[in-house]
Amino acid sequence: MTTLYTMPGTCSLACNIAIAWLDAPVGIKNIAYGDQNSEEYLAINPKGKVPALRFDDGEVLTELTAIMAWLGAEFGSQGYSRDVRLGYREAEALSFMTSEVHAAYGPHFAPQRFASSDAAQEEVKQAAYDTLRSHYERMDSKLADAGGEWYLGKRSFADAFLYVLTRWLDQTPLDIEDYPALKRHRERMEADEKVQMALTRQDMQPIG
């Protein structure tokens, strides 16, 4: 069986949710934190990161947006990547969320990669929070403009990754209460039985 490798607390939850929404015949292998650097996992994904999708023939696909594109093309019906207009917008949203928002979390998750002293690390973290604040304001506004229910007006994989980002926000000095559309989106996602299934498979709990 094709298998998605995940780890608690990571962006791989978005792919896990997509698989649940599609009822796709893809197994979930949830590895413990730290095991991404094990010899066994590095043989699957030398990058030492999740998500990774291993096919029956042993071929491996990495990177969240690539995995989402494959899921939509392989198992999607109306909507997702099979719908041209929604598919393009979905790709645009996921690109922004991964290359801009996710990337901006670098100094938060690993400040030592950006500065050596404690004082300098605190500075890069605060700069990252300023960037993230701007990103969350943009996403909150876009979600509200789209009607407030789904990020693109219709449910898409962008909503799965947006949910991950709203969870990460609680780890920062930012407050979800400042982003009412995002708060309601997170609540709606956590009421979704498929999202709950994905959380359980990844050894995670709803925030609400």
Give the C-alpha separation, 19 to 16, whole Å: 5
For the chain, residues classed under CATH 1.20.1050.10 are: 80-192
pTM of the shown model: 0.95
Domain 80-192 has CATH 3.40.1280.10: no
Residues carrying CATH 3.40.30.10, the chain: 3-77
pLDDT for position 81: 54
Describe the strand order of the beta sheet including 27-30 as a list of residue ranges: 27-30, 3-6, 52-54, 60-62
State whether residue 24 is helix, strand or coil: coil
Helix axes 193-201, 12-22, angle to 10 degrees: 130
pLDDT 10s per residue in the chain (208 long)? 999 999 999 999 999 999 999 999 999 999 999 999 999 999 999 999 999 999 999 999 999 999 999 999 899 875 555 567 888 899 999 999 999 999 999 999 999 999 999 999 999 999 999 999 999 999 999 999 999 999 999 999 999 999 999 999 999 999 999 999 999 999 999 999 999 999 999 999 999 7
| pLDDT score at 39 | 96
Domain 3-77 bears CATH identifier 3.20.20.80: no
